[in-house]
Structure 1
Amino acid sequence: MTARILVADGVATSRIMLKVRLTSACYEVEAVSSCTQLVASVESNRPDLILLGSGLDDRDLVTLCRAIAQEWPQMTVLALADGETRIQALQAGATATLPPSVDEPMLLARIRCLLRDAETGQATGLAMAEMAAPFDNAPGGEVTLVADSPARAMRWRHLLQGRLGCSFAIRNPEEALSAAASGLPSDLYVIAADIGGRGDGLRLLSELRSRSGSRDAAFVVATEPHRDEMAAIALDLGAGEVLPIDLSELGNVEMAALTLRNQLARKRRSDHRRAEAQRTLIWAMTDPLTGLFNRRYALPRIAEIAAEAMRQDHLFAVLALDLDHFKAVNDRHGHAAGDAVLCDIARRLETVVADRGLTARLGGEEFLVILPRTGEHEAYRMAEEIRRAVEMRSTLLPRLSGGGMVSVTLSVGLAVSDPGLHVGSPESLADISLERADRALIAAKTRGRNRVMLAAFQATH
């Protein structure tokens, strides 16, 4: 889908030129010349990025950045400004800045970078966006400096460490890669574009971005002035920002400190979104009481295991398990006692099955075990081991339900499936396997409970 960009500029020639440049790059562009038009466009169209070329009406660019950040805190804003105004725009909430004289390749590379970062945040956020951290709240973290000389790296550290609540490590490319491979990546890497040779800093950036240990770090590339082509490549390779390599020049160190603080805060928010997404994924496939996989996750897994068995021509087993007379536990001791029993049995199932298969709670007192690459003898032995693990030890009840101990037993229906006897899809094989296990479970219940019943092999169509 084409990204939507809103160009806001009070100067007609600048506004038209920016619209033409972006439209030629196949973006969907709208241009506005007043604050009223800006508000209406954002409310109705929700652009992916706002490009501020200059002030609107009686508001200057910095005031506009502040107003947008307050009204739409998650909006990506690229401000075109020079000198001190660039720093003020960042402090006011702009996502990034560029000089108004920026050439087209650099402008487009910066926009691609910002849109990529915004899309990543939306993809991992699962609609749980949080407010952007203010600039005066330094997020901390570890920053690795990879410069073109140790003296340059030490000068960077001297200029920055008093402005950021971070720890700084000076490393060469080999040391940076080794630390990341050893599980000790930094939160942010500041890399000179040219370290030993032309462009080798960009190769280091690509290497770090491709490694699992460091791919989620933030990256800033430092280049010599008038190296816009190098800066554009760095942004396309995954750098979040580009800085001048000489931070001692007037204004550069303040800009660098703001940039690094912004990148660290953005990384912290990204880490938080990934953690939230991971928790949401776990909740979606986990039974909240026992911590086992739930029905929503387990049943499709049978089809996946059946598909693998058909490809590799090996057996697999499905165990349908049900606690005997479990209703009596709830009736006699209360639901708190029943929950305690279910949790205790779930832990015993996990202990027996371990990494040899998948254990799930289907609901109530029903459980399911799936054993890939497992034949009849091994599956029956495990089913008996599970049954004995439940039978041999009582469950301690919570004091809320009166305390004491309660003993339960388990019935198991076991179906071992041979893909060689099946003509049909993996989904049909999975359904038939589960149905056979359920029928064997019913037979176990009918014949007195607390036993394992094995379903007979059969050709299926």
Structure 2
Amino acid sequence: MTARILIADGTATARITLKVRLSAACYDVCTVANAEDLSGQAHLYRPDLIILGTGFARESPVDMALSLMGQPGLAAIPIIMLANESTRLQALRAGVAAVLDPMIDEQMLLARIRGLLRDSDTAVSPADALAEAAATFGPAPRLTNVTLVADNPARAMRWRGALQKRLDAHFTISTPTETLAAAARGQGADLYLIAADISTRGDGLRLLSELRARNGSKNAAFVVATESHRSELSAIALDLGAGEVLPVDLDSDAGVEMAALALQTQLLRKEECDKRRIETQRKLQWAMTDPLTGLYNRRYALPRLTEIARDMQRRGDSFGVIALDLDRFKTINDNFGHAAGDAVLANLARRIQKNTGDSGLAARIGGEEFLIVTPSQTESEAMTLAEQLRDTIEAQPVTLPRLSGGGSIAATCSIGVAIGQSCDATPNPERTAELSMERADRALLKAKSKGRNCVVLAQPETVI
């Protein structure tokens, strides 16, 4: 989907010129000419990025930015401000994502936009729209680890001496080799400040690319420092994943403060990205698992069964499919209550998971129905596992919760076992998985008809 950018500038020429440049880059662009229209248009248009220019009659762009960041539904939208050097520090203190020279070249502007859009997720749900506005700029909530990789130890020490007075962080001076080794050990930093030229021209950008590609460091924040005569590297660094580009020399109090604010902004953005990533993982986990037992649910298990069938087919291997059903579960609910039934199911799930191990798939696919899939397993191995499950469930009564009157209850299960095998004549993993499941279900029904609390092996059939 094309990113939406809202441009606010009081000067018509600047506003139109910027719209033409961004529209040519295939962005969806909307413009406003005054502060009065900015807030309403932002709520209506829901941009992914806001660019604040100059030329407003009464309002300060910094005040306009603060107003936007204080409104529910708009606080998470990154803001680029086009302002001169005198306003830059004030804007960074306010929490603006980036402050650029109004005469910035197109390549650098587009690189900045790409970087902010890459790292930001500004889609607002109805719940988000009702949430309180995010807090404005403030210190990172915990002590962070910052790794400094400069072109020489003296510069790295100057960086550390200047920045540690303004950032509550632990600073480590490191070489490229040491930095990569630490990331490989899972000891990556929260933020890396890397010189664009370390030993050779542009080797800092190669280090950036390596760190961005490694599990131990790919989620860190990155800032690249360049010499003034190497400005062509700035756009490249942003496109490679740097969140900010700074001058390599921090030779004034204002320069040091702007660098510290820039690093702190990147750390806060990293924190927000981490929160979104954890939330996404949590939602995925909810979508895949059964909340009562913690096992996978039917929605995840059946497609996964097909994937296992496909993998085994490629390897010419077999796999076990075990259908397990708790015997007379309705009587447990009727006689002891649903809390007792839930306790029995949760206990049963733990025993299934323990016996299945990490190599197999264990899922709850119905009320008291469970599915176990075991890759690379023979008929005898699958039958042995099924008997272990049946014996484990029968041997140990389940302790009931006090809500159900306490005590314990014995439980048994019926199990059907089928072996899924590849068929060279018809290499159809979907059909193989489907028939294996059907055969295991039929074997389960046969186990119930034989008096329950037993294991029945399904007879092999030809996959068609």
Is residue 302 of structure 1 aligned with residue 305 of structure 2?
Answer: yes
Q: 1:254 aligns with which of 246, 257, 260?
A: 257
Is residue 58 of structure 1 aligned with residue 61 of structure 2?
Answer: no
Alignment of 1:344-423 (within 5 A): 344-420=347-423, 423=426
- What is the letter of the counterpart of residue 152 of structure 1? R
Q: 1:212 aligns with which of 215, 236, 246?
A: 215
In the aligned structure 2, how far is the partner of 1:244 from the partner of 1:2? 32
Superposed CA deviations along residues 380-421 of structure 1, whole A, max 9, x for unmatched, are 111111111111111122222222221111110111122328
69-78 or 422-431, which deviates more: 422-431
Q: Contact conserved, 1:105 with 1:229, CA < 8 A, in 2?
A: no
RMSD of aligned Cα (Å): 2.1
Shift of 1:226: 4.5
> Structure 2: which 5+ runs fail to align?
none
Q: Which residue of 1 aligns with 2:10?
A: 10
Q: 1:265 aligns with which of 241, 265, 268?
A: 268
Q: Contact conserved, 1:128 with 1:273, CA < 8 A, in 2?
A: no
Describe the SS at the equivalent of 1:355. Answer: coil
Is residue 175 of structure 1 aligned with residue 165 of structure 2?
Answer: no
Describe the SS at the equivalent of 1:251. Answer: helix
Describe the SS at the equivalent of 1:267. Answer: helix
Q: Contact conserved, 1:336 with 1:398, CA < 8 A, in 2?
A: yes
In the aligned structure 1, how far is the partner of 2:427 from the partner of 2:116? 49
9-18 or 72-81, which deviates more: 9-18
Q: Contact conserved, 1:358 with 1:369, CA < 8 A, in 2?
A: yes
**Pair 287,422 (structure 1): closer, same or farther in 2 beyond 3 Å:** farther
Alignment of 1:38-187 (within 5 A): 38-71=38-71, 72-119=74-121, 132-139=134-141, 140-187=143-190
Is residue 30 of structure 1 aligned with residue 30 of structure 2?
Answer: yes
Shift of 1:250: 4.5
> Structure 1: which 5+ runs fail to align?
none
Describe the SS at the equivalent of 1:443. Answer: helix
Alignment of 1:226-241 (within 5 A): 226-241=229-244
Is residue 326 of structure 1 aligned with residue 334 of structure 2?
Answer: no
265-274 or 308-317, which deviates more: 308-317
In the aligned structure 1, how far is the partner of 2:208 from the partner of 2:422? 48
**Pair 204,47 (structure 1): closer, same or farther in 2 beyond 3 Å:** same
Percent identity over paired residues: 55
In the aligned structure 1, how far is the partner of 2:3 from the partner of 2:344? 54
Superposed CA deviations along residues 95-121 of structure 1, whole A, max 9, x for unmatched, are 1111122222211111111121125x7
Superposed CA deviations along residues 344-378 of structure 1, whole A, max 9, x for unmatched, are 11111111111231111112211111112222111
Q: Contact conserved, 1:84 with 1:251, CA < 8 A, in 2?
A: no
Shift of 1:132: 4.3
Describe the SS at the equivalent of 1:264. Answer: helix
Q: Contact conserved, 1:126 with 1:277, CA < 8 A, in 2?
A: no
381-390 or 16-25, which deviates more: 16-25
Superposed CA deviations along residues 166-197 of structure 1, whole A, max 9, x for unmatched, are 11111111111111111100000011111122
In the aligned structure 2, how far is the partner of 1:220 from the partner of 1:332? 65
Shift of 1:40: 4.2
Q: Which residue of 2 aligns with 1:287?
A: 290
Q: Which residue of 1 aligns with 2:345?
A: 342
**Pair 30,226 (structure 1): closer, same or farther in 2 beyond 3 Å:** farther
Shift of 1:20: 2.7
In the aligned structure 2, how far is the partner of 1:128 from the partner of 1:354? 40
Q: Number of aligned pairs?
A: 459
- What is the letter of the counterpart of residue 430 of structure 2? E
Superposed CA deviations along residues 322-354 of structure 1, whole A, max 9, x for unmatched, are 111222222222222222211111111111111
Q: Contact conserved, 1:421 with 1:459, CA < 8 A, in 2?
A: no
Describe the SS at the equivalent of 2:242. Answer: coil
Superposed CA deviations along residues 249-278 of structure 1, whole A, max 9, x for unmatched, are 241111111111111111111111111111
Q: Under a length normalisation based on structure 2, what TM-score does the superposition of the two structures give? A: 0.94
Runs ≥4 residues deviating over 4 A: 125-133
